[in-house]
Chains A and B, each alone.
Chain A
Amino acid sequence: MTSLLSGDFPRSRLLTAMLVAIFVALALAPFVFPGTRPLDVAAKVCVFVLLVASYDLLLGYTGIVSFAHTMFFGIGGYGIAIALSRFEVGWSAIALGSAAAVALSLLVSFLIGLFSLRVKAIFFAMITLAVASFFAILASQLSGVTGGEDGITFKVPELLRPAYRLLEDPLLGVTIGGRFVTYYLVFGASLLLFLALLRVVNSPFGRVLLAIRENDFRAEALGYRTVIYRTIANCLGAVVATLAGVLYALWLRYTGPNTTLDFGIMIDILLMVVIGGMGTMYGAVIGATIFVVAQNYLQDAMKAFSGAMKDVPLLPDLFHPDRWLLWLGVLFVLSVYYFPHGIVGQLRARLRR
């Protein structure tokens, strides 16, 4: 267990319980929550845990704010979508698309990093925002390659198709088919990559990143080339985000601007990292789970509440189902002020008291 978690334990009983509960729920999702929508939610949680964890490597561990994370997410999705729609559908096309996407992400993140990580955090944030919006426009304009606003719907290898049946009879009342296999592919890959990220942040390299976050002058004075470390962290985050994009596209069998490149998703990622807890990989798990579940189920609750408050002025508007982001935004601002380490930080602080 120690080597699996790289010696970085949750360090709070309640947090451990929550993490175990999330892990078990995700691991058994096809059995425990049958149906299309719950499984969609579970797969999205897996992908976003990975995506948010890779963003946390930048924001929480290295202290740099990037607005280009969805760009890398999108590169992964488009890479596999273009490969599977252009070439013969099969595993080699998936491998080719993923490899090309990872290579492109590496190149772009390396260039951005080298170009703008020498200077202040603010400068990097502005440059990444500009580049990401440029990429989003590019994707919607080059409709010959990317399908424009419509995106690309593509076929997946037969093993992953919904109609495919691995076993003739249902197991424990669950059809063991293409969706089942795809879900466990997404789950397994996310879990592996998450553990790899946990390994990275607890390695000597990760400690240097923390040192840079806390005091980059001192880190530089101790002989660490901060630009190089920041750039490597940036590339690493980009590659993992790309792979998350590949997984998400495989699950949806679709890639488009709205599922990957939208600036709203970047905002979602920020919310998940900060609410879950910056600088803690487990924060990514908690934040992504809470957010995705809220995204899918909070609206129902708000609809009920808004309906009940019909006669009060303004309140129904404030609690309109479409305004759920308002409340998460308020939570976000409060977290940055009062709980800079988010939910995970709060749980750990309680332990210390």
Chain B
Amino acid sequence: MKAIEGQRVDWIPPALMLAIMLGALAMIGNPSTWVTLTVAGLAMGLLIFIMSSGLTLVFGLMDVMNFAHGLFIAVGAYVAASVMRLFSASVASESFLVNLGAVVPALLAAMLVAGVLGLAFERVIIRPVYGQHLKQILITTGGMIVAEQLIHVFWGPDLLPLPRPTTLRGSFLIGDMAIEKFRLIAVVVGLVVFAAMIVILNRTKTGLLIRAGVENKEMVEAMGYRIRRLFIAVFVAGSALAGLGGALWGMYQESVTVHIGANMMVLIFIVIIIGGLGSIGGCFTGALLVGLVANYVGFLSPKIALGSNILLMVMVLLWRPQGLYPVAKQ
């Protein structure tokens, strides 16, 4: 996992995750329930990873924390809902391929709109306040207020239905294990995004520059690269991914409200704090941990399920105060 940061791999956090999975198996006792819960946890974790990866990279690269990141999630979900309504005929179809003909344009449109919005947001809201943390927090929060209200203006204040295509409803039954189809889709999309990110970060020059920028911005600039352009690219990509995640999350819940983004923000913050601010590998591990723990605890003792994420965060921070994979800063 640490290979992404190009150093020796720190296997303790992934091993911890495996230990949690095995421990949960022992506590739950029933293997088929355990598989169902694990797939649900992985799906949730991968969705959170898609949404939070951009945020943590943006922070690592430019020391910018965007409190309005949830806005891109919400916009992605709303755009997906609008597109799906356009393709309502293919949404209702019984064929998987025809269904994909509605889902794929919806996801692409969500990414496109969120990405363009990210470009505008970076230009108008974030650029004037580089290096001023207090103002960043205030201004991005303000941007979120305005944007949420604008969503109300364009899409109306009511809950918007986002129907899942016919063939993506229900679950596969393997023996007595029930696996929701949509969760499998989420796992597949999440893994594809993660793989693509690893390839880009490890095998391309842009990726090399991004990794170098996270560790030492000034040095990259001194070498003659424009870190600003790199940053804008990462910001836009992160926004687009948030839009994608929002669209998937909206389909998962089958409805969209303007609070979808703000609600996810809490989980996202927990994930990137657990992972270590700025670390993409940490973000991945943290997201999976949060997803798995939320599902296991939700099954084992629903009463403390709500606090499980906070509890997880506190325990991780007591163990490693800088997060699972601290990013070395110069």
Q: Could you list which residues of chain A lie within 8 angstroms of chain B, going by C-beta atoms?
A: 59, 63, 65, 115, 120-123, 125-127, 129-131, 133-134, 137-138, 141, 263, 267, 270-271, 274, 314, 317-318, 320, 322-323, 325-326, 328-330, 332-333, 336-337, 340
Contact = CB atoms under 8 A, between A and B. Distances in A.
B139 A333 contact: yes
B138 interface: yes
B133 interface: yes
B266 A120 contact: no
Contacts of A317: 153
Interface string B237-263: 000000000000000000000000010
B306 A123 contact: no
B142 A131 contact: no
B73 interface: no
Given A322-B152, A326-B150, A329-B142, 15 more contacts: A115-B317, A125-B65, A130-B313, A138-B306, A141-B306, A270-B142, A314-B153, A325-B145, A325-B149, A330-B146, A333-B125, A333-B146, A336-B129, A337-B128, A340-B135
Label chain A's interface by main secondary structure: helix
B259 to A, nearest CB: 9
Counting chain B CB atoms within 10 Å of each CB, the highest count among A115, A134, A263 belongs to: A134
B73 to A, nearest CB: 15
A271 B146 CA distance: 12
A121 B67 CA distance: 13
Contacts of A320: 153
Given A63-B134, A322-B157, A134 B306 contact: yes
Contacts of B317: 115
Contact of A326 (B133, B146, B270): B146
A133 B267 CA distance: 10
B297 to A, nearest CB: 14
A63 B136 CA distance: 12
Contact of A127 (B129, B142, B273): B273
Nearest to B313: A130
27 contacts: A65-B137, A65-B138, A120-B133, A122-B59, A122-B277, A123-B273, A126-B269, A129-B265, A129-B266, A129-B269, A130-B266, A130-B310, A131-B310, A134-B309, A138-B306, A138-B307, A267-B145, A270-B138, A271-B145, A274-B138, A314-B153, A317-B153, A323-B149, A326-B146, A332-B138, A333-B125, A336-B139
Interface in B106-161: 125, 128-129, 133-139, 141-143, 145-146, 149-150, 152-153, 157
A326 B142 contact: no
Nearest to A268: B145
A322 to B, nearest CB: 7
A4 B207 CA distance: 61
A262 B149 CA distance: 17
A122 B133 contact: yes
A126 B306 CA distance: 18
Nearest to A133: B266
A267 B150 CA distance: 16
B121 to A, nearest CB: 12
A333 B153 CA distance: 19
Given A267-B145, A322-B157, A125 B67 contact: yes
A325 B317 CA distance: 37
A112 B265 CA distance: 19
A122 B266 CA distance: 14
A270 B125 CA distance: 17
A328 B141 CA distance: 13
B139 A130 contact: no
A282 to B, nearest CB: 20
B145 A126 contact: no
Contacts of A325: 145, 149
Nearest to A63: B134
Contact of A137 (B146, B152, B277, B306): B306
Contacts of A333: 125, 139, 142-143, 146
